[in-house]
Chain A
Amino acid sequence: MKILVVDDSKAMRAIVKRALSTLDRVAGATIVEAVDGKEAFATAQAEQPDLIISDWNMPEMTGIELLQALNEAGTCPSFGFVTSESTPEMHELARSNGARFLVSKPFTPEALDDALASAV
């Protein structure tokens, strides 16, 4: 399995990667990273990840714009958000664009594992 972690914060990418490393559900997965939606789109085309875990609010291209671009390209793998903002409107927008989950920061590895249950 290959997972693309997208966040403009290096610290948060480290937190997400560390959480993933503790989860049996994704044991042995290869993790690749991108710093914004634009880079993630290119990385997704090149790396063909099985799952994308993305922040929402990022420079260049936001997480929801990334999801919509991947949908338009017809190349969207399983996709979920890990974001500091979590409103009903965001949940609905994510869901309507095909996102499998939206986990709010701060999160625990258990919360991420629960979310991944629907995505991998």
Chain B
Amino acid sequence: MQLAEVELDRITGDIFAAILGLTLDGHRASDTFPPDERVVTGVVQITGDFEGAVSVQLGEHLALRAAQLMFALEADELTDEEVTDTVGELANMTGGNIKSALAGSSALSLPSVTAGRDYRVSLPGTVIKDRIGLDCDGDLVVVALMQRDVTL
């Protein structure tokens, strides 16, 4: 499966610009969140000719800001469900666009979302094919593409 044409930064940037009106300003030196920062992660799995997953991670500050923009609400009006829904939809759009860029026929799962501090996202049996950290007005966005390890 050819992954060279999948541009995580362009795909993610297009989604943030079109849906949220936010600009992602290139790669950050670090793609790791501070251990004390609460991070919201959306994951979608891809099955078929390509087997893997896509994760999108936002710190809580940016997750709240994204939900505010999605729902046109103030931060104190948002529910946890709306923040979860927002990050899940960002992962769904990112995964869907990546899936569309891959050759072959694959299916996309519904998104799952988790939140917490100082954790790592790993899917057993997969390896990270690409992982980028992008800057959004000082907040970090981490996007990763994982692929099933066929050598296992």
Answer yes or no: B82 CB below 8 A from chain A CBs.
yes
How far does the Cβ of B88 sit from chain A's closest Cβ, in whole Å? 7
The distance in angstroms between the C-alpha atoms of A26 and B96, with both chains bound, is: 28
Cross-interface CB contact of B97 among A8, A12, A84, cutoff 8 Å: A84
Mostly helix, strand, loop or mixed at chain A's interface? loop
The reply to whether B85 and A10 contact each other, CB–CB distance below 8 Å, is yes
Counting chain A CB atoms within 10 Å of each CB, which of B15, B85, B95 scores highest?
A: B85
Which residue of chain B has the shortest Cβ distance to A84 in the bound complex? B96
B residues contacting the other copy or chain, number (CB 8 A):
25
1/0 per residue B32-55: CB within 8 Å of A?
000000000000000000000000
Among A40-48, A65-73, A101-109, the one that faces the other chain is A101-109
The reply to whether A87 and B100 contact each other, CB–CB distance below 8 Å, is yes
Answer yes or no: A24 CB below 8 A from chain B CBs.
no
Given contacts A8-B110, A11-B85, A106-B15, contact A84 B72 (CB under 8 A): no
Which residue of chain B has the shortest Cβ distance to A8 in the bound complex? B110
Given contacts A18-B72, A84-B95, contact A11 B108 (CB under 8 A): no
Q: Which 10 A-B pairs have the closest CB atoms?
A: A84-B96, A106-B18, A85-B96, A11-B70, A9-B89, A84-B93, A11-B89, A106-B19, A106-B15, A11-B86
